[in-house]
């Protein structure tokens, strides 16, 4: 049996040195929701006037905290706001208990922090179908408000982990004529990862000033090619939530700023990659580039069919340049393809073209690429200009170890 | 590492004692297409006037033999017919070589057996992307014609195997006022199994008389709830083919006979189940019944989302009654569901209802069901009358063992 407690071999050497974001403070607590001996609640307090945008799972069985967050957006920008997250229990499929637990936590945070309840956003992640012991969370809230500090983002990222093997953070600082603007965020997620949106929790903070509608549009657009372009196992969580909070504490307005849009995109993409690199059992990070499709949507269908194919993913685990399985995945995707116009590369090695193996193909060269940690599969469909890039990981024994005995 | 050469624990004790079907004979040969020391070609010769119907993969990258079979149907019923199958090489994504190999084999069979080339159907199964050494197949054909015998159906079923761990056969005999009608068939398939249609080769023979259009319609209809209702890994082969041949040798016309339709359905369902029971790495056979959906199509979407979920399948492997993952799969399927109207059973144990765990639920009872070999998951969506049943297997370490190192 694989060592399922080991840190992913694809993990960064350490948590990044994230800049502080003016207007945001954090605190964490260990209340024993499920896990013992580790933090499992984090509270982020946001300055008065913070703008909040979000993207949430489209699952029809989504959890109570998700429904509550969705109902609260776009909301007003008046007064302070707060984000409370617990790990260990997803408060999903818990019947009427679900919203009771959300309300109890929201009310306690509102009372202790001085936020209006409509400005308190909560998330829960962990086991589905078990009643959340929200009293344990509520009992820690006064202390969490008292202990707020702007230096605790790494601790916050750690408190929201479930099967994650490392905490995930990313940041960008960009200069404007009026001074620097900072963006920093955290993510959790490791299994039950697939589009709509990748199963995870993501919180990104910036001291920029921006209108809610502009921020929401930007976040939704970026999501399509970042968190909705990754997959670990094709399974979609009931709790996926991405919240971006702009405190405005820098005093710098970024409405219409492409530098802000680009920096936010980079933070979102980096966090999305960090989630894939912590994919349950992952030993390889895989980028799948599809070009030449009849549309972007068609390219995405092909890319995700390849990224989700158990046969492609096990071949990658076995370091086997088995391009026949890529052909199979293209064929099964349901999207338009002409067998004889497809070209396939593993890394820089042209493997197949004109409906068959390339005359220049040398299997040892493709096999050498497959031995690396960063795998790149490129498919050109030769039809038109549609393109999409997806990211996934390999499918290994450790995925089975983790998931055949996660709950019991 | 799991013993990937072991016979599936779900295999029947032995190959069934199949009745002979008048008008059909078989022979097999070992020509070393890929495998050494085992048969890898089978030729079935069909009496003059045999009616042939077929269903084939919808993959856009389907193999040359599939395209050739599709072009030949419905065809005429005049003269004898033949089916030749090789294992070890799929003759898929082999460029212009693909149809050259098909033509070489078809011409050789036609010449040796006296069939018109338009009445010779071929299939190839095995590795994708490698040129089929068709000369080896062609060299055996004269001998295969000479050795034809009506007693060799088990040998034929064995010659078409690839990663299968056992040969698969099923039959029904039903009485009519004019005497008995016999149906007997064989299947191969173990991985790359998913709807459209389940990745496999299936050949079913009957001595009934029936018009081609009636037989084709019946086979296509039955396929929806048999071979297109099973999945091992959500991956779809480039070579899936189901061929049903009615020799008419009984002299009994079954046009409009519900007894024939039922018997054919039973043979198709039994073969479909045998494929799932040989799912790569399978230790459990899983039936998923979805009822109460807004339509049959919606019920199928839910059932297949559950059947294809790696998290559901690994939970079953771990004998964990993790109904939260069933909720997750329903939620992600994209089909209509109301979280608070869903009921879920594991075996006969009501697990969840009204959006939460059932008050009568005792986990030990569900856990006991999960320890069995035949797992049944039932979901009632509580919306309308749409229903669908799907079959799958668990996802185990052996699947990874088999697929991380199949080709190299």
Q: For residue range B316-372, what is the model confidence (pLDDT) as tens digits?
A: 988 999 888 898 889 878 889 998 899 999 999 999 998 888 999 998 999 999 999
Sign of CA dihedral B38, B40, B46, B51: positive
Residues of A in contact with B234 (CB under 8 A): 234, 308-310
pLDDT band at A195 (very low <50, low <70, confident <90, very high): very low
Burial class for B258, CB neighbours closer than 10 Å (0-12, 13-18, 19+): exposed
pLDDT confidence of residue A163: 78
Q: Which residue of B has its CA nearest to A399?
A: B314
Tell me how far apart the alpha carbons of residues A379 and A342 are, in angstroms, rounded to a whole number.
7
pLDDT confidence of residue B24: 94
pLDDT confidence of residue B104: 98
Q: What is the CATH number of domain B285-403?
A: 3.10.20.340
For chain A, positions 163-192, list CB contacts with chain B under 8 A: 191-192
Residue range A355-380: mean pLDDT, rounded: 93
Q: What digits encode the pLDDT tens for the residues A308-320?
A: 888 898 899 889 9
- Residue A344 in this model has a pLDDT that exceeds 90: yes
Top-confidence residue, A4 or A146 = A146
CA of A269, closest CA in chain B: separation in Å?
23
pLDDT band at A243 (very low <50, low <70, confident <90, very high): confident
Which tokens is B170 given?
Answer: 């099923």
pLDDT confidence of residue B195: 36
pLDDT band at A395 (very low <50, low <70, confident <90, very high): confident
Residue range B202-223: mean pLDDT, rounded: 90
Residues of A in contact with B325 (CB under 8 A): 128, 235
CA A303 to chain centre: 18
- Residue A35 in this model has a pLDDT that exceeds 60: yes
pLDDT confidence of residue A345: 97
pLDDT confidence of residue B182: 93
| Cβ-proximal residues to A315 (8 Å cutoff; 6+ apart), any chain | A321, A322, A325, B403, B404, B406, B407
Residue range B77-105: mean pLDDT, rounded: 92
Residue range A259-285: mean pLDDT, rounded: 88
pLDDT confidence of residue A278: 85
In this complex, the residue of A129, A318, A320 whose CB is nearest that of residue B352 is: A129
Residue A155: CB atoms within 10 Å: 16
pLDDT confidence of residue A142: 97
CA B96 to chain centre: 28
| Predicted structure pTM score | 0.81
Sign of CA dihedral A87, A88, A92, A94: negative
| Cβ-proximal residues to B125 (8 Å cutoff; 6+ apart), any chain | B85, B86, B87, B88, B90, B160, B162, B188, B201, B237, B239
What is the ipTM metric for this complex?
Answer: 0.74
Whether chain A has a CB inside 8 Å of the CB on B354: the answer is: yes
pLDDT confidence of residue A173: 92
Residue B246: which of B77, B104, B113, B40 has the closest Cα? B77
Chain B interface test: which of A66, A290, A318, A350 (most B C-beta within 10 Å): A318
Q: Where in chain B is the domain with CATH 3.10.20.340?
A: 285-403
Residue range A358-373: mean pLDDT, rounded: 93
Query: What beta strand segments (E) does B217-355 contain?
Result: 241-246, 285-293, 343-346, 349-353
When mean pLDDT is compared over A134-143, A163-172, B274-283, the highest value belongs to A134-143
* DSSP letter assigned to residue A113: H
* Sequential DSSP letters for B27-53: EEE---SS-SSS--EEEEEE-TT-EEE
Q: Where in chain A is the domain with CATH 3.60.70.12?
A: 24-277
Least confidently predicted of A122-136, A226-240, A285-299, B243-257: A226-240
pLDDT confidence of residue B198: 34
pLDDT band at A145 (very low <50, low <70, confident <90, very high): very high
Residue range A338-352: mean pLDDT, rounded: 93
Whether chain A has a CB inside 8 Å of the CB on B371: the answer is: no
- Residue A151 in this model has a pLDDT that exceeds 60: yes
pLDDT confidence of residue A2: 45
Contact B408 A320 (CB under 8 A): yes
Residues of A in contact with B320 (CB under 8 A): 404-408
| Cβ-proximal residues to A21 (8 Å cutoff; 6+ apart), any chain | A150, A182, A183, A184, A205, A206, A207, A247, A249
Least confidently predicted of A367-381, B28-42, B188-202: B188-202
pLDDT confidence of residue B5: 58
For chain A, positions 55-114, list CB contacts with chain B under 8 A: 57, 59-62, 90, 92-98
Whether chain A has a CB inside 8 Å of the CB on B358: the answer is: no
pLDDT confidence of residue A198: 35
Q: Which spans in A309-353 are helix H?
A: 310-317, 323-332
Instruction: Estimate the share of chain B in helix, then strand, then coil, as percent rounded to the nearest 5.
Output: 35, 25, 40
pLDDT confidence of residue B408: 40
pLDDT band at B2 (very low <50, low <70, confident <90, very high): very low
Q: Which residue of B has its CA nearest to A233?
A: B310
Domain A285-404 has CATH 3.10.20.340: yes
Give the catalytic positions of B in this structure.
199
Tell me how far apart the alpha carbons of residues A386 and A390 are, in angstroms, rounded to a whole number.
14
Contact B328 A403 (CB under 8 A): no
CA of A181, closest CA in chain B: separation in Å?
37
Contact B129 A356 (CB under 8 A): yes
| Cβ-proximal residues to B65 (8 Å cutoff; 6+ apart), any chain | B91, B98, B102, B122, B123, B124, B239, B241
- Residue B60 in this model has a pLDDT that exceeds 80: no
- Residue B93 in this model has a pLDDT that exceeds 60: yes
CA of A361, closest CA in chain B: separation in Å?
12
Give the catalytic positions of A in this structure.
199
8 A C-beta contact, residue B327 and residue A128: yes
CA A84 to chain centre: 18
Query: What beta strand segments (E) does A16-80 contain?
Result: 24-29, 41-46, 51-56
Q: Which spans in B160-254 are helix H?
A: 212-224
pLDDT confidence of residue A408: 40
Judged by DSSP in three states, A79 sits in: coil
Q: What is the CATH number of domain A24-277?
A: 3.60.70.12
Q: What digits encode the pLDDT tens for the residues B390-408?
A: 999 988 887 777 777 655 4
Q: Where in chain A is the domain with CATH 3.10.20.340?
A: 285-404
pLDDT confidence of residue A197: 36
Q: Which spans in A176-292 are helix H?
A: 212-224, 258-277
Exposure on the CB side of residue A352, measured as CA atoms within 13 A: 29
Sheet with strand B81-89: strands edge to edge: B24-29, B41-46, B81-89, B120-127
Contact A318 B404 (CB under 8 A): yes
């Amino acid at each position: 049996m694989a060592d399922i407690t080991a840190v992913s071999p694809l993990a960064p050497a350490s948590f990044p040195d994230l800049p502080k974001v003016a207007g945001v403070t954090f605190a964490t607590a260990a209340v024993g929701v499920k896990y013992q001996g580790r933090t499992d609640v984090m509270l982020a307090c946001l300055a008065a006037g913070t703008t909040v945008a979000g993207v949430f799972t489209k699952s029809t069985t989504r959890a109570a905290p998700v429904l509550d967050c969705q109902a609260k957006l776009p909301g007003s920008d008046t007064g302070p706001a707060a984000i409370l997250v617990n790990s260990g229990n997803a408060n999903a499929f818990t019947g009427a208990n679900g919203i009771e637990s959300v309300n109890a936590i929201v009310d306690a945070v509102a009372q202790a922090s001085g936020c209006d309840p409509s400005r308190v956003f909560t998330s829960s992640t962990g086991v589905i179908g078990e009643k959340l012991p929200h009293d344990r969370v509520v009992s820690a809230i006064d202390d969490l408000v008292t202990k707020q500090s702007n230096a605790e983002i790494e601790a916050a990222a750690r408190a929201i982990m479930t099967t994650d093997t490392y905490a995930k953070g990313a940041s960008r600082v960009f200069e404007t004529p009026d001074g620097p603007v900072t963006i920093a965020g955290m993510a959790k997620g490791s299994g039950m990862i697939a589009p709509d949106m990748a199963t995870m929790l993501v919180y990104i903070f910036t001291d920029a000033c921006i209108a809610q509608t502009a921020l929401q549009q930007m976040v939704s657009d970026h999501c399509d090619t970042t968190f909705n372009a990754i997959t670990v196992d094709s399974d979609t969580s009931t709790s996926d939530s991405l919240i971006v909070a702009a405190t405005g504490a820098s005093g710098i307005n970024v409405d219409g700023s492409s530098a802000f849009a680009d920096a936010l995109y980079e933070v979102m993409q980096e966090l999305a990659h960090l989630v894939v690199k912590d994919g349950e059992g992952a030993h390889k990070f895989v980028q799948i580039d599809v070009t030449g499709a009849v549309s972007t949507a068609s390219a995405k269908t092909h890319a995700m069919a390849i990224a989700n194919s158990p046969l492609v993913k096990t071949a990658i685990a076995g370091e086997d340049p088995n391009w026949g399985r890529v052909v199979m995945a293209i064929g099964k995707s349901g999207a338009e393809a002409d067998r004889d116009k497809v070209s396939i590369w593993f890394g820089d090695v042209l493997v197949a073209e004109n409906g068959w193996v390339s005359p220049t193909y040398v299997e040892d060269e493709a096999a050498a690429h497959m031995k690396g940690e960063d795998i790149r599969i490129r498919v050109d469909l030769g039809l038109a200009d549609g393109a999409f890039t997806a990211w996934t990981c390999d499918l290994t024994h450790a995925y089975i170890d983790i998931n055949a005995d996660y709950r019991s």
